[in-house]
Amino acid sequence: MTSDQIVLFTLFGVVFGMLLWGRIRYDIVAFSALLIGVVLGVVPTAEAFSGFGHPATLVVALVLVVSAGLVRSGAVLLITRTLVDASRGLGAHIAMMGAVGAVLSAFMNNVAALALLMPVDIATARKAGRAVGLSLMPLSFATILGGMATLIGTPPNIIIASIREETVGTPFRMFDFAPVGGVAALAGMAFVALIGWRLIPQREGAAKPGAGLEQFADYIAELTVPEDSALIGQPLSDLFDEAERADVAILGVIRDGKRRFAARHLKIAAGDALVLEAQPEPLDEFRTALKLDFSDAKRLDALKDDGSGVSFVEAVVPDTARIAGRSAQAIGLAWRQRTVLMGVARKGARITKQVRKTEIEAGDILLLLVPSEAKDEVLDWLGVLPLADRGARVTQGAKTWAAIGLFAGAVAAAALGLVYLPVALGLVAMAYVLLKILPVAELYTHIEWPVVVLLGSMIPLGAALESSGGTQLLAGGLLGLTEGLPGWVVLTVLMVVTMTLSDVLNNTATTIVAAPVGIEMARVLGASPDPFLMAVAVAASAAFLTPIGHKNNTLILGPGGYSFGDYWRLGLPLEILIVAVSVPMILLVWPL
């Protein structure tokens, strides 16, 4: 063992020990290790920051931006309303979302599949009032498992197919992976849905989205029926089911400046203002589903056209506020600050006037629609105190299908090899900005920067381990360890070691290192290389112990509120199950 190898193995051991300890944030640990590697000379100075421009790092950042655009466009809401029922039990929800994720990831990049479903899962958790971390890890694992079933589902399968072509003369075909990878995926998803999710640690304060805001009353708000609405002429009772589904209460209707009760038989007319009681997200969901307008739609349309975008802001009114004792209309909130008072929450009192004409009292909580780039200025001008942001955003319902079409086109182009995946995702992100689906002000706010630093730091360290011969040293030891053992034991050891490498290195690099080892094992045993290549393909994809083993695991690290040591609790039994199921299937379908 060379001195460089000793230093790198020691460095990796210290890094993983620190990450499992969890007292220092993972990005600080990883970046410090990278700098130490550079100072000690085991990581070339010229390659020190190459990980920050690595495709894996770019994909993670771009996927988060694209996911935000899908949320803003209403695409996530469309999927949520079509497929997801927040009243389902957690196990049933995980099974349903996992099945959708697995099927998608079998025919598209599994990172893209997670990018599409992750905001859906987060929105469902928020609506159900449960911690996001309970379902986000199972979803990530399901999208990884589904990719095992086809040639294009995951990069290791494509690499294995090309290596087989070089070795045997013909590559694996599209569904050659299904008998092993598909069965392993089904077994893994059944375990995760029935048992595995219970192994995910639940921390205090982990967090239900919006936690800490439950003590505030729902807002009294207004939404207007546009002139071309399909609702015109329908009885108000036709809206009750939709309102119940979105968790919105219809209190009445304002017509010609007069407020009417919410009588079931009342026919809806153009320009009617529906008086509603709801929290911000249900309110926006109800607005998007029925294609209603805000109370000052023309002013908001003009604001959106300038590219700024609008955002929800919640704020408490102190007695010193400019708006205290006055109405939004009286102080000219709309025309002075390009801001609309969307709703008012007032404990112990019912608001009977139109929202913009309601005299605001100290202690009221306001739901404001403000220019995304001028939040602080508006709040300072009003003299109100902002509440913690609970993630509510204004949905661009008119651009839902444009957002979905752009995303689907990019994924298809990447799957067919027409466009490189990071480039395809970058084009989608830029298109979302140019089409004003995602405001410029939010372009970088959705990126989990600690995750980017983690990946950017670990990739050069992994490359240094490979270039120093460290991975080949491991491979040589594996050949010696399995000498003289029966075929099923050799396959098991190969899968275990490949999984371990994949949990530390990129799964593509693991495949490139492990596949030649498997072929050499087959040669020594006088067996077909196919079962060994299939074992490497499945094992290289089954990276469930750490957040850096697969890009999907890295993507959920921040949004799920996980620590580095959380993954193995569900990942270890899942990896054991994958080995236990895959080895017999390999021997049955691809005999030695």
How is 531-588 classified by DSSP, letter by letter?
Answer: HHHHHHHHHHH---SSTTSSHHHHHTTTTTT--GGGHHHHHHHHHHHHHHHHHHHHHH
Which band of pLDDT confidence, cut at 50, 70 and 90, is reported for residue 393? low
Assess if residue 157 is contained within a domain: no
Last residue of a domain, one of 335, 359, 386: 386
Domain assignment present for 102: no
Residue 22: per-residue pLDDT: 64
In DSSP terms, 220 is beta-bridged to 277, 344
What are the pLDDT digits (tens) for 266-291? 899 888 888 888 877 778 778 888 88
Domain count, the chain: 2
- Per-residue pLDDT reduced to its tens digit, 337-346: 888 888 888 7
Mean pLDDT of 405-410: 87
pLDDT tier at 259 (50, 70, 90 boundaries)?
confident
Q: What's residue 144's pLDDT? A: 93
Q: What is the CATH number of the domain that holds 237?
A: 3.30.70.1450
Q: Look at the alpha carbons of 236, 240, 243, 247 in this order and tell me if their dihedral is positive or negative.
A: positive
Whether residues 372 and 475 fall in one domain: no
CB of 167 within 8 A of CB of 529? yes
My answer on whether 580 and 488 are in the same domain is yes
Q: Place 213 in a pLDDT band, splitting at 50, 70 and 90.
A: very low
pLDDT tops 60 at residue 459:
yes
Tell me, what's the pLDDT at 45? 92
| Same-domain check for residues 234 and 347 | yes
Q: Please list, in sequence order, all residues whose beta carbon lies within 8 angstroms of the beta carbon of residue 66, skipping any fewer than 6 positions away.
A: 115, 407, 425, 428, 429, 432
* Mean pLDDT of the 513-542 span: 86
- Show which of 386, 415, 450 is a domain's final residue: 386
Count CA atoms within 13 Å of residue 393 on its CB side. 23
Give me the pLDDT at residue 86, please: 64
Residues 367 and 496 grouped into a single domain: no
Instruction: For residue 368, tell me if it sits in a domain.
Output: yes
Q: What's the distance, CA 25 to chain centroid?
A: 21
Query: Which of 355, 341, 330, 411 has its CA nearest to residue 106?
Result: 411
Residue carrying structure tokens 């329908």: 234
- Of residues 502, 512, 493, 472, the one with CA closest to residue 163: 512
Residue 294: the pLDDT is: 77
- Domain ranges, residue 310: 219-386
225 plus 332 within the same structural domain: yes
Q: Kindly state whether residues 470 and 374 are assigned to the same domain.
A: no
Output helix, strand, coil percentages for the chain, rounded to the nearest 5. 60, 10, 30
Task: Over range 570-587, report the average pLDDT.
Answer: 94
Nearby residues of 378 by Cβ (< 8 Å), 6 or more positions away? 313, 337, 339, 368, 370, 371
Paired strand residues for 278: 219
Of 372, 369, 339, 371, nearest to 441 by C-alpha is: 372
Please write the tens of the pLDDT for every residue from 164-190. 887 888 888 878 898 999 999 999 999
CA atoms within 13 Å, Cβ hemisphere of 142: 30
Residue 558: count of CB within 10 angstroms of its CB: 17
- Same domain (yes/no): 324, 467: no
The larger pLDDT score, comparing residue 479 to residue 223, is at 223
Last residue of a domain, one of 370, 386, 402: 386
Cβ-Cβ contacts under 8 Å for 169 (sequence gap 6 or more): none
Give the pLDDT score at 76. 63
Query: Do 225 and 354 have their domain in common?
Result: yes
- In Å, how far from its chain's centre is CA 381? 36
Residue 209 lies in a domain: no
H-only helix segments in 147-261: 155-168, 183-194, 240-246
pLDDT for the residue numbered 365? 85
pLDDT band at 513 (very low <50, low <70, confident <90, very high): confident
Question: What is the overall mean pLDDT for the chain?
Answer: 81
Q: How far apart are CA 450 and CA 218, in angstroms?
A: 34
Single out the residue of 366, 370, 401, 406 nearest to residue 387, CA to CA: 366
Within-domain flag for 173: no
Between the CA of residue 447 and those of 61, 64, 82, 315, 584, what are the distances in Å? 6, 6, 27, 25, 42
**Is 101 a member of any domain?**
no
pLDDT tier at 395, thresholds 50, 70, 90: low
Cβ neighbourhood burial of 232 (10 Å; 0-12, 13-18, 19+): middle
Same-domain status, 355 and 471? no
Closest CA relative to residue 160, chosen from 181, 141, 139, 142: 181
Residue 452: its H or E element: helix 449-467
Predicted pLDDT of residue 413 = 84
Residue 123 lies in a domain: no
Tell me, yes or no, whether 177 lies in a domain.
no
Q: Give the rounded percent of residues in the chain with a pLDDT score beyond 90.
A: 15
Mean pLDDT of 246-271: 83
Q: What pLDDT was estimated at residue 205?
A: 46
Q: Is the dihedral of CA 85, 89, 94, 96 positive or negative?
A: negative
